[in-house]
Amino acid sequence: MHFLYLSVLCAWLNMFGYSSNEEFVKKGSFEVVLQNYHPENNLYKKKILLIIPPTGGMNFIDQSYARKFARRGINTKILRNWSNDDEYSIEFDIHNRFYTRAQNAIDLILQKYSEHEVWILGTSVGGLHGTIATARHKQITKALFIVSGADISSIISNSDQEVLVEAKKIRFEKFNIKNENQYLQKLRKAIPYEVQKLSIPRNKKIGLVISTNDKTVPTSNQILLENYWQTQRVSTLSLGHTPSVVFTWFFNSRKIKNFFLK
């Protein structure tokens, strides 16, 4: 019974200090869906925090971060989805379409709010999208990436994520791939963006949460991003991929908040 009361209290507190609504941004047939969190008292004029979720889309943790930042006075948006973001194919070119569409979605948001300074909070694959956008756009001035990394081709090839592992197995058979290097080279031809081929962001505040025991976005790829961009390490965890995301939210939310607001 006490837990029920606590849950009701938490739900009530989470409703206080902001309002929320969906937003649709379109260009032709391409549509982006955002979940907005508007602070009652906007303390950060002309600034937007854009949260880019991990695989699976917007979740409770993303919404929790959004509520926390909105209550602290910053206009916050979660990138919920975009046209055909759930397309699945064994063909290698699926990666080209997936990462290109994600950048198109971010581009549309930045174009709509061209007079705003944009901050990015990206987790896992959301961080991959965020790193590319941060390198491409001067409008993005702060970015924090949770268990993300560099060299997307290598991440896809070596990840233990079930969908990627299964796709790799099928591709080896279907396309008569002989070895790991051949597979990696095919991925490199398909990936349209790699941060190591883009300009290193200058005069931006960039932070990372790194897991030293990650096999989904391998730790080596996370450290590669850190070394390549010379970023600030906000937190280091020795947990796996998903536990690191959950631990960061549950125990280190204040670090995430302070990174942006201090």
Residue 192 has pLDDT above 70, yes or no: yes
Instruction: Quote the CA–CA distance of 32 and 62 in Å, as a whole number.
Output: 17
DSSP codes of every residue in 137-195: -TTEEEEEEES--S-HHHHHHH---HHHHHHHHHHHHHTT--SHHHHHHHHHHH-S--G
Q: Kindly give, in sequence order, each residue whose CB lies less than 8 Å from that of residue 100, ignoring residues fewer than 6 positions away.
A: 192
Give the whole-number percent of the chain exceeding pLDDT 90.
92
Residue 10 has pLDDT above 70, yes or no: no
Query: Is the pTM for the entire model greater than 0.95?
Result: no
Q: List residues bridging with 110 in a β-sheet.
A: none
Q: List residues bridging with 78 in a β-sheet.
A: 35, 51
- Of 9-13, 68-72, 141-145, the poorest mean pLDDT is in 9-13
Eight-state DSSP code of residue 227: H
pLDDT digits (tens, 9 = 90+) for 46-57: 999 999 999 999
172-197 average pLDDT score: 97
Cα radius of gyration rounded to whole Å, the chain: 19
pLDDT score at 189 = 97
pLDDT digits (tens, 9 = 90+) for 227-262: 999 999 999 999 999 999 999 999 999 999 999 998
Residue 165 has pLDDT above 90, yes or no: yes
Eight-state DSSP code of residue 196: G
pLDDT score at 262 = 87
Residue 70 has pLDDT above 60, yes or no: yes
Instruction: Quote the CA–CA distance of 246 and 254 in Å, as a whole number.
Output: 14
Eight-state DSSP code of residue 137: -
122 three-class SS: strand
Instruction: Quote the CA–CA distance of 136 and 223 in Å, as a whole number.
Output: 21
232 three-class SS: strand
Of the pLDDT bands very low, low, confident and very high (cuts 50, 70, 90), residue 4 is low
Please, what is the angle between helix 180-190 and helix 162-174, to 10°?
Answer: 110
Quick one: tokens of 50? 């854009």
Residue 16 has pLDDT above 80, yes or no: no
pLDDT score at 2 = 54
pLDDT score at 8 = 54
Q: Give the containing element (helix H, strand E) for 36.
A: strand 30-39
124-132 average pLDDT score: 98
pLDDT digits (tens, 9 = 90+) for 81-94: 999 999 999 999 99
Of the pLDDT bands very low, low, confident and very high (cuts 50, 70, 90), residue 9 is low
Residue 1: other Cβ atoms inside 10 A: 5
Instruction: Quote the CA–CA distance of 211 and 158 in Å, as a whole number.
Output: 16
Nearest CA among 79, 30, 36, 84 for reference residue 57: 79
Ordered domains of the chain (ranges, CATH): 2-261 (3.40.50.1820)
Instruction: Quote the CA–CA distance of 258 and 173 in Å, as a whole number.
Output: 48
pLDDT score at 6 = 52
Instruction: Quote the CA–CA distance of 74 and 68 in Å, as a whole number.
Output: 9
